[in-house]
A and B are shown apart, each in its own frame.
Chain A
Amino acid sequence: MPKIAVVRRDLPPTLSAVVRLGAALAGIGIAILSISVILGVDAWTVTERVVGTFLRPDMIRYLIVFLPVGLGLAVAYHARLWNLGAEGQIVMGAVAAAYVALFTPLGEIRVVGPLAALLAASLAGALWALLPGILRAYLNVNEAITTLMMNYVAYSLCNYLVYGPWRGRRVYGYPETDLIPDASKLQWVHGYSFSPWSLVIAIAFVPVIYLFLYKTRIGTALRGYGSSPAAVELSGISGTRLIILAFFVSGALAGLVGGNEILMYHRKLVPGEKIGAGMGFVSIMVAWLADLNPALMPLSAYYVSALHYLRMVMQVGELTEPVARFFIGLVFMLLLVSIFVSKYKVVIRK
C-alpha cells in the first residue's frame, strides 16, 4: 500500500521565490484561459488587457502605497505582532498631512510644506499605531483586535472632520475639504497620477528596512522576539521597547503613505473609506506574499498593484466587476498553493 505523508521542509530562499513567481505567472495564465472559456470572451482580448496593465506605469500610483506599507507591516509581523491597522494608520496620516497643508502657514511654502506634511503624517500614523502597541506591551492586550477596531475609529474621525469642521467652502456640500495649496501638491509625471518623488521615497525604504531587520542588533532581536521572547530579553534587549518600536515603524510608514495620498493623489481630505480604500488590508497580503522579506517586497508590491489596477480597468470594459474578482481570487488561490508547496512536501512511498 503506498504511503502518503506531508512533511515540513525549508526551500532555499531563492528557490522558494522562484516557486512563488512561477505560481503567480501560471495563475494569470489559468485565469485568462478560464475567463475566456467560461465567458466566451476572446482570449486575446483578455491577455492584452492583462499584460497591458502589468506594463502600464499607471499602476505605480498603487505601488507607492503598497510598497512602504508592506515593508512596515513586515517589521511588525517578523516579531509576530499582528498589526492589522494599516488602513487606519493611513487615514490618520492623511488627516495630519491635510491639516498641515490646509491650516498652517507651512502649506504655502514649496518643498518645506510637503516635507512638513509628510513628517506630520508619519508621526500621526506612528502614534495611532502606538496606542495598541502600548496596550500590548504593558497590559498584554491582543493587538490584532485593537488595531482592527482602530481602523473604524480612524474612519469616523476623518469623516467627522470632512462632514463637519473641515468641510470646504467651495465644495458644494460634498464631504471634503478645500483643495490644498499648490505649494503643497506633489506634481505628477506627465500623463499619469503619481509623483516621481513619492516613488523614489517608497523604493528608498527597501534597503533601509532590509538593513535594519537583517544587519542590526535590534532588527535581529525583533525577528527573534516572536518565537523566543525570553532569550531576547536575556540578551539585554527590552521586549517592551521592541514591541513599541515595531508598532511605531509600521505605523509611521502607513502614515507616510496616507500623507502622500493627500499631497499626491486626492489633493484634499475626503472620507476615510475613500482614502484607505481597503489598501491597508491589501498591504497585509503584500507583506506575506514577499514572505516578509524586504528584498522581495518590490516584486510583491508590483504584482499586487498591477492586479489592483487591473480590477479598476476591468470594470470599465466588457469585463465586469464579478469577473475581475474571480480573476484576482483565482490568482491569489494559486499563490497560496505555491506558499504551501515551498513550506511542505508530500512524500509517497510504496
Chain B
Amino acid sequence: MALISLVGITKRFGSVVALDNVSLGVESGEILGVLGENGSGKSTLTKIIYGVYVPDSGYIELRTDGLMRRAFFSSPKEALLSGIVMISQRPQLVEELSVLDNIALFLGYSRGRTRKIVESTMSRFNIKLNADALVGSLSYTEKQLVELVKALSFKPRLLILDEATTYLPRDVKARFYEALRTFASIGGSVIFITHKIPEALEVCDRIAVLRRGRLVRIFSRKDVFSIDDLRKAMFEEVSPSVATERVEEAKAEDGKVLRAEGLVVLDDYGKRAVSIDELVVERGSVHAVVGVAGNGQKELCEGLSGLRKAVEGRVVLDGEDVTRSKASERASKGLVYIPEDPFRTGVVLDLTIMENIRLFATGRLSSDTVKKVISELRISPPEPRIKSYMLSGGNLQKLSLSRALLLNPKCMIVHNPTRMLDEASSRQVKLLLRDSARKGVGVLLVSEDIDEVIDVADKISVIANGRIVKTLPAMYPRLREEIEEAMSTYA
C-alpha cells in the first residue's frame, strides 16, 4: 500500500534542471533507497517532500484517511504535521540545550512526558544515549543519534534520511540500520538517500537511481542485479574500476617536507586536543592519519596549516620553521590545506566557480585552465559562472580540492576529502592524491575511512585522543587488523 507518491516532479534552478519529471512511490513498511552521484538531485527531491522547495511542476500525493490525496507543503512544519520527518547530514539541534530539552522542543511536549517517550523509543529501537547531556558537549556521531531518537519519538509515518549516515563510523551505521529496519517492521516508511552503493545495498528494500535529475531505474530485492548494474545506472559510462591503487613503496628520498615536533593544539574550549611527539611527511609519499572521528583530527590539520595556534612545539615546512606564520603565509610557501567542511572553510560560497579558482591561482588564469580544472574534477554543473552556493556538497568539495591542482604545493594536508563524494569522484580524488605524490608532493591524508587509507597511503598512523598511537608501513601484514585494533583500543 503506497504511503506517498511523487508524480511528475520537475524542479529547475536557473538553467540547472535538478529534477526532471520524476515519479516515485513509497510503500508503507518499506525502506526505499535513493542513490545517485553528487549533484544528481537527491537533496532537491527530499527538500520538495519536506516543504523546503516548491516543485515547478508535478505534485505529491499522500495517504490521508485511507485515500491518496494531493498534498502541498510550503514549509517543513506542514510536512511534520502530516507525519514526515527528515534527518540530514547536519544535526539541527540547539547546542545550549540538553538532549531531552531539544526533543521536548521538537515534540512540543512537557519535559516529563518527553522523558517517558524518549525512554520508550530508546528501548524499542535499542539506542543508548544520555538524555540529560548538553548537546554542545556531544560528538557529531552522538548528535546524529539524538536526531534519530528525536525523529522516532515523533512517531512519523515517513522518515527521510538525507546522507544522514554517510559520515558515521561503521558500528554506529549498523545501529542506525537496525533502528530503521525495526521502524519499517512496525509499518513506518523510510526514504534513505545516499551516494554510496554499499550503504544502499545494505539497508534498502528497493533502490531508485537518479542520474542528472532523471529517475533511471528502480532496483528491487526481487530482481537479480549486480553491483555493476547499479554503477552503470548511476554513472552512465562504463563502470569505473574500483580496484585498489597500487601502493608504492615509500621512496627513500632525503626529503622530510613537513615535520611537527612536540606539537600541542587546543580545541575550541581550550582543552588539549592534539599532543604529538613527532609527525613527518616525506616528499613524494602519502602519509595517512586515521582514527575515529573527533580524536583531534581537525585540530591537528588546523594546527599544521596555521588556522589554529600551536601552544607548544614546532611546525617545520621544508626546513623552515613556520610555527609563527599565518595560514596565508604557509599556503604561499607551499603548504596547502583542504579542510573537510567546504561550506565554511573550503570555498567562498558568494563567489562563482571561476572566481574561486582565481583565488587559488597565483599567476594569470586562462579560461582553458578553468575548463580543465572543472572537467578534471568533474564539477557539476560545469559552468564557471554560477555561484558556488548553488553547488551540492560534493561538488563544493571538488572545487575546494582544485587548490591542490593550482597552488603548486610542496605539501598537502587533506582532511576527509572523499566523505561527500560518490564512487567515481572518490576514485578521481584518490588518483589525484597519488598523482601529486608521484610529482614529489608530500601528502598528509587525514581520514576516518580505513579502506580509503589502505587504498592510497604509503604509511599509516593511527590517531587516538590527539596522540599518534601507532605508525605502520602500507606493506605491513595484517594491516587492517592492526589499524582497527589500535583505533578501538586507544579511542
Contact indicator B361/A232 (Cβ below 8 Å)? no
Q: Give A8 Cβ to nearest chain B Cβ, in Å.
A: 11
Q: A87–B344 Cα gap in the complex (Å)? A: 35
Residues of B within 8 Å of A224, CB to CB, are: 348, 350-351, 355-356, 359
Q: Is B332 in contact with chain A by the CB < 8 A criterion?
A: yes
Contact indicator A235/B403 (Cβ below 8 Å)? yes
Interface residues of A in 208-249 (CB under 8 A from B): 217, 220-221, 223-224, 226-228, 230-240
- Whether A234 touches B75, Cβ cut-off 8 Å, given contacts A217-B358, A217-B362, is no
- Return the contact of B339 from the options A217, A234, A347 (Cβ within 8 A): A234
Chain B 92-103 per-residue mask, 1 if CB under 8 angstroms from chain A, else 0: 000000000000
Q: Is A3 in contact with chain B by the CB < 8 A criterion?
A: yes
Residues of B within 8 Å of A349, CB to CB, are: 54, 72, 74
Chain A 338-350 per-residue mask, 1 if CB under 8 angstroms from chain B, else 0: 0000000001010
From B22-30, B323-331, B444-452, give the one contacting chain A. Answer: B323-331
- Whether A217 touches B346, Cβ cut-off 8 Å, given contacts A5-B74, A234-B307, A236-B331, is no
Contact indicator A232/B344 (Cβ below 8 Å)? no
Q: A233–B302 Cα gap in the complex (Å)? A: 12
Residues of B within 8 Å of A227, CB to CB, are: 348-350
Residues of B within 8 Å of A239, CB to CB, are: 328
- Nearest opposing residue in chain A for B347, CB measure: A231
Contact indicator A234/B331 (Cβ below 8 Å)? yes
Q: Is B345 in contact with chain A by the CB < 8 A criterion?
A: yes
Q: A223–B403 Cα gap in the complex (Å)? A: 18
Contact indicator B329/A238 (Cβ below 8 Å)? yes
Contact indicator A236/B328 (Cβ below 8 Å)? yes
Q: Give B429 Cβ to nearest chain A Cβ, in Å.
A: 18
Contact indicator A236/B350 (Cβ below 8 Å)? no
Residues of A within 8 Å of B361, CB to CB, are: 217
Q: Is B337 in contact with chain A by the CB < 8 A criterion?
A: yes
Residues of A within 8 Å of B358, CB to CB, are: 217, 220
Q: A46–B226 Cα gap in the complex (Å)? A: 80
- Nearest opposing residue in chain A for B331, CB measure: A236
- Whether A231 touches B345, Cβ cut-off 8 Å, given contacts A217-B361, A238-B326, is yes
Residues of A within 8 Å of B326, CB to CB, are: 233, 238, 240
Q: Give B281 Cβ to nearest chain A Cβ, in Å.
A: 18
Q: Give A226 Cβ to nearest chain B Cβ, in Å.
A: 8
Q: Is B426 in contact with chain A by the CB < 8 A criterion?
A: no
**Contact count band on A:** 20 to 34
Residues of B within 8 Å of A220, CB to CB, are: 351, 355, 358-359
Contact indicator B348/A228 (Cβ below 8 Å)? yes
Q: A231–B400 Cα gap in the complex (Å)? A: 9
- Nearest opposing residue in chain A for B346, CB measure: A231
Contact indicator B407/A236 (Cβ below 8 Å)? yes
Q: Give A321 Cβ to nearest chain B Cβ, in Å.
A: 42
Q: A234–B331 Cα gap in the complex (Å)? A: 6
Residues of A within 8 Å of B350, CB to CB, are: 223-224, 226-228
Q: Is B144 in contact with chain A by the CB < 8 A criterion?
A: no
Q: A4–B347 Cα gap in the complex (Å)? A: 34
- Whether A235 touches B359, Cβ cut-off 8 Å, given contacts A220-B351, A228-B350, is yes
Contact indicator B355/A234 (Cβ below 8 Å)? no
Q: Is B305 in contact with chain A by the CB < 8 A criterion?
A: yes
- Nearest opposing residue in chain A for B336, CB measure: A234
Residues of A within 8 Å of B74, CB to CB, are: 3, 5, 347, 349
Residues of B within 8 Å of A223, CB to CB, are: 350-351, 355
- Whether A347 touches B351, Cβ cut-off 8 Å, given contacts A230-B307, A230-B345, is no
Quick one: which of B72, B75, B350, B361 has the most chain A CB within 10 A? Answer: B350
Q: A45–B54 Cα gap in the complex (Å)? A: 50
Residues of A within 8 Å of B359, CB to CB, are: 217, 220-221, 224, 231-232, 235, 237
Q: A239–B348 Cα gap in the complex (Å)? A: 14
Q: Give B29 Cβ to nearest chain A Cβ, in Å.
A: 32
Interface residues of B in 53-94 (CB under 8 A from A): 54, 72, 74-75
Q: Give A210 Cβ to nearest chain B Cβ, in Å.
A: 14
Q: A330–B331 Cα gap in the complex (Å)? A: 51
Interface residues of A in 236-286 (CB under 8 A from B): 236-240
Q: Is B360 in contact with chain A by the CB < 8 A criterion?
A: yes
Contact indicator A234/B345 (Cβ below 8 Å)? yes
Contact indicator B337/A234 (Cβ below 8 Å)? yes
Residues of A within 8 Å of B360, CB to CB, are: 235
- Whether A228 touches B329, Cβ cut-off 8 Å, given contacts A233-B307, A235-B359, A349-B74, is no
Would you give 30 A-B contacts (Cβ < 8 Å), ordered by A? A3-B74, A10-B387, A217-B358, A217-B362, A220-B351, A220-B358, A223-B350, A223-B351, A224-B348, A226-B350, A227-B350, A230-B327, A230-B344, A231-B344, A231-B347, A231-B359, A232-B348, A233-B307, A234-B305, A234-B328, A234-B337, A234-B345, A234-B346, A235-B359, A235-B403, A236-B329, A236-B362, A236-B407, A347-B74, A349-B74
Q: Which 10 A-B pairs have the closest CB atoms?
A: A224-B348, A236-B331, A236-B332, A230-B345, A238-B328, A235-B359, A228-B348, A233-B327, A227-B350, A233-B328
List B residues at the A interface (Cβ < 8 Å).
Answer: 54, 72, 74-75, 305, 307, 326-329, 331-332, 336-337, 339, 344-351, 355-356, 358-362, 365, 387, 400, 403, 407
List A residues at the B interface (Cβ < 8 Å).
Answer: 3, 5, 10, 217, 220-221, 223-224, 226-228, 230-240, 347, 349
- Since A228-B349, A234-B331, A238-B329 are in contact, a sample of 10 more A-B pairs with Cβ atoms closer than 8 Å, ordered by chain A residue number, is A3-B74, A10-B387, A220-B351, A220-B359, A223-B351, A224-B356, A233-B327, A234-B307, A234-B327, A235-B328
